[in-house]
């Protein structure tokens, strides 16, 4: 077990190093920083107006980030970019087979790459939270909602990264992996939200089920300070399933 952890950490460090040594990381960070700047500017503008909120669910602070369309669009593009090269690139360059012959198991390789993707994803979220200490100097902030939001992003990152790693494992081409990852994220993030929005107008009986599985609603609810442990359970379950598939597919010839 200890040696397995050591191998995973070595592979993890290799992946993190490779990411931060490439210009992609800094372009992605810049993109997220610019989005964070716009979101924070909008938050300041909303906070500067007279507040008339009746409940915490409509407070500007609890809608920070989770209600930002640009954030979600960039996120859905960033995850495929982060994960597409993890396995597909190695297969294309021919280093994958030699990695598999090394004294590491497929599980350890996949877990290390997945963890690296999770960390990279979380680093990209830092710009949004960078502003909060500055804001706290002028406005008392209830830390509950931002904490809930962070937890939501962490658990969502586990799920998104696992999906990205899976499609990267299935494909030799980074682009194909990225496209399939994007489509899968679309299915998880936007489709349930679309169904929820349609159901809301009709007060449909399945509205509750749609809401529970709409990632946007889940993150929004967490961002209000309402921590439902079933949400991380759901994200974790999806992550476990896709990691299992990735590990199994690691030894199969890619067919995409």
Partner 1 sequence: MSELGENWIWLVGLAATGALALLWDARRSTAGPRGRDAWPLVLVTGSAAAVIVIAIGVWFVVIDLIGAAILAFALGFGTLLILIRRLRRDASSGRGGRQAAAVGKTIVDASLLAGLLIVINAFAFTYGGRVWDLTQEGAFTLSAVSRQTIRALDRPTRFTLLFGEGRLAPRQRERVSQLLELYRAESPSRVTVRSINPYAEPAELERLIRAYPDLAVATSGVLVEYGEGDQTRHAVVRVTEIFPEEAGRFAGSANERFLMPFTGENALTSALTRLREGRRILAAVLTGHGEPSILAEDPNAPGLGLLAGRLRAAGLDVVEHDLNRAELPTETEIVMLVAPRSRLQPTESSRLEGFLKARGKALILSGPESRDAVAELLSQFNLEMAKDVIIDPVSNLQGRPGMILAFVTGRHPHPIVDPLFRVPMVLPRAAALTIKPPASLARTRRLPVAILDSMPDSWSESEPNASRVRFDPPNDLKGPFLVGVAVNETERENPERLEDPATAPINPGPRSKSANQAETRPMSTPRLVVFSSGLAGDNTTLQAHPVNADFLLDAVSWLRGNTDQLGISPATHETRALALPPEVRSRLVFLPTLLAILAIITAGLTVGWSRRDHAMHD
Q: Which helix (H) or strand (E) holds 19?
A: helix 2-20
Distance CA 14, CA 10 (A): 6
Residue 79: closest CA among 36, 32, 112: 32
Among residues 7 and 145, whose Cβ is nearest to partner 1?
A: 145
Residue 130 within binding range of partner 1, rule CB under 8 A: yes
Site for partner 1 in 161-200 (CB under 8 A): none
Assess 97 for contact with partner 1 (CB under 8 A).
no
Q: How far apart are CA 197 and CA 191, in angstroms?
A: 10
Asked if 160 interacts with partner 1 (CB under 8 A), we say no
Is 100 an interacting residue with respect to partner 1 (CB under 8 A)?
Answer: no
Q: Which candidate, 73, 84, 77, 33, places its Cα nearest to that of 216?
A: 73
Shortest distance, position 73 Cβ to partner 1, whole Å = 20
DSSP letter for 1, please. -
228 binds partner 1 (CB under 8 A): yes
How many angstroms from the chain centroid is the CA of residue 133? 23
Is the CB of 7 or the CB of 78 nearer to partner 1? 78
Phi and psi based region of residue 94 (left: phi greater than 0; alpha: psi -120 to 50; beta: remaining): left
**CA–CA dist 190, 187 (Å, integer):** 6
The encoded tokens of residue 83 equal: 């994960």
Residue span 12-51 as binding mask against partner 1, x where in contact by CB under 8 A, dash where not: --------xx-x-xx--xx--x--xx--xx--x--xxxxx
Q: Which of residues 203-222 bind partner 1 (CB under 8 A)?
A: 203, 205, 209, 212
Only one residue has tokens 């087979």, namely 97
Residue 256 found at the interface with partner 1 (CB under 8 A): no
Q: Which of 187, 198, 230, 256 binds partner 1 (CB under 8 A)?
A: 230
Between CA 126 and CA 215, with CA 190 as vertex, the angle to 5 degrees is 55
Residue numbers of the site for partner 1 (CB under 8 A)? 20-21, 23, 25-26, 29-30, 33, 36-37, 40-41, 44, 47-59, 127, 130-131, 134-135, 138-140, 142-145, 147-148, 203, 205, 209, 212, 224-230, 233-234, 237-238, 240-241, 244-245, 248-249, 251-253
């Amino acid at each position: 077990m200890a040696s397995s952890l050591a191998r995973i950490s070595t592979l993890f460090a290799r992946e993190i190093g490779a990411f931060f040594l490439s210009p992609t990381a800094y372009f992605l960070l810049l993109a997220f920083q610019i989005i964070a700047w716009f979101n924070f500017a909008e938050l300041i503008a909303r906070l500067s107006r007279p507040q008339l909120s009746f409940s915490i669910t409509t407070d500007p602070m609890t809608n920070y980030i989770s209600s930002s369309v640009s954030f979600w669009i960039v996120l859905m593009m960033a995850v495929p970019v982060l994960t597409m090269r993890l396995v597909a690139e190695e297969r294309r360059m021919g280093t994958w087979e030699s990695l598999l012959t090394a004294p590491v198991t497929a599980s350890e390789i996949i877990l290390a790459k997945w963890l690296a993707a999770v960390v990279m994803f979380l680093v990209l979220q830092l710009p949004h939270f960078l502003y909060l200490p500055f804001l706290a100097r002028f406005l008392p902030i209830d830390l509950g909602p931002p904490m809930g939001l962070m937890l939501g992003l962490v658990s969502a990152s586990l799920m998104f990264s696992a999906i990205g790693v899976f499609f990267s494992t299935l494909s030799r081409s980074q682009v194909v992996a990225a496209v399939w990852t994007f489509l899968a994220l679309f299915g998880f993030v936007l489709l349930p939200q679309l169904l929820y929005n349609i159901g809301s107008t009709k007060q449909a009986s399945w509205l509750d089920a749609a809401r529970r599985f709409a990632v946007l609603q889940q993150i929004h609810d967490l961002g209000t300070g309402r921590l439902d442990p079933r949400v991380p359970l759901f994200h974790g379950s999806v992550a476990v399933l896709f990691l299992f598939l990735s590990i199994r597919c690691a030894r199969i010839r890619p067919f995409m």
